[in-house]
Amino acid sequence: MEGLTQRGISTSAFGLGSSFDEDLMGAIAMAGDGTLAHIESPEQLTDLYASELKGLLSNFGYRVSIAIEEQNGSRLLDIFNDLPQTTNGTYRLSNLRYGQQLTIGVRLQLPPWNDHQEIMRVRLTWDSQEEQNRQELNQSLTLPVKEQKEINSMDRDEEVAEQLILLLSNRERRRAIAYLDSGDVQSAAASLDITDSRLSAMPQSPSILRERQLLADKKRLLRLNRNLSRKHMYYESLRSSVNVYEVDRDDH
């Protein structure tokens, strides 16, 4: 798989029905820089193949990685996307596509700070079919120093807060899956409840409402079909680390 990606060849993984191994399919899609898809009927294959072809035409970056370098004593505590790490310490991303938004959530710990001192450097690198050399984009992050009362009066960036809560929602699904695999269905459902409670405190944007509906579907499936609920949760948990084909589902 690694040899194929080095040559710019992506490998996607499609699970059909309810008898496939979703953990294996996810590992294949992630290692192969491809798409992960779960469809429940052959009728959905036409739309899936059309989406894949469209995605191939819109790809402009392959073998994508991001490096996050701590500066001046700052510490990177967490990357909420749970990205796979490469052998040289960078993090692997899915292929870059025109018009696709890329969101990375991190948690940093800062020592006593100087005004506008550099916190971290971010380096995005990728291969391009149009360019022979590996492409690179660099960005640095600085932070002003403010009095506590100024910080308290600042408005929260709702777009950033929404993206963060959605990333945490993906991670909470993996916690629910761990409970489910141990046979603790009650704790799995409680984990989804915790996520929905966090989402309910947010402005109810279309993205938040859709996420809450997905969680409600998973909770209902826990009572009706644990295997299918696990597959859907696993599929949704990887949305921030691999290209995932999303289809409008009607689980009823």
pLDDT for 170 equals: 94
Distance CA 225, CA 121 (A): 45
pLDDT for 4 equals: 55
pLDDT for 210 equals: 95
Distance CA 26, CA 30 (A): 6
Question: Is the pLDDT reported for residue 197 higher than 90?
Answer: yes
Question: Is the pLDDT reported for residue 252 higher than 60?
Answer: no
Distance CA 108, CA 4 (A): 35
Minimal CA–CA distance to 108: which of 119, 121, 118, 124? Answer: 119
Render pLDDT for 222-240 as a digit per residue (tens, 0 to 9): 999 999 999 999 999 998 8
Render pLDDT for 160-173 as a digit per residue (tens, 0 to 9): 999 999 999 999 99
At 208, the pLDDT band (50, 70, 90 cuts) reads very high
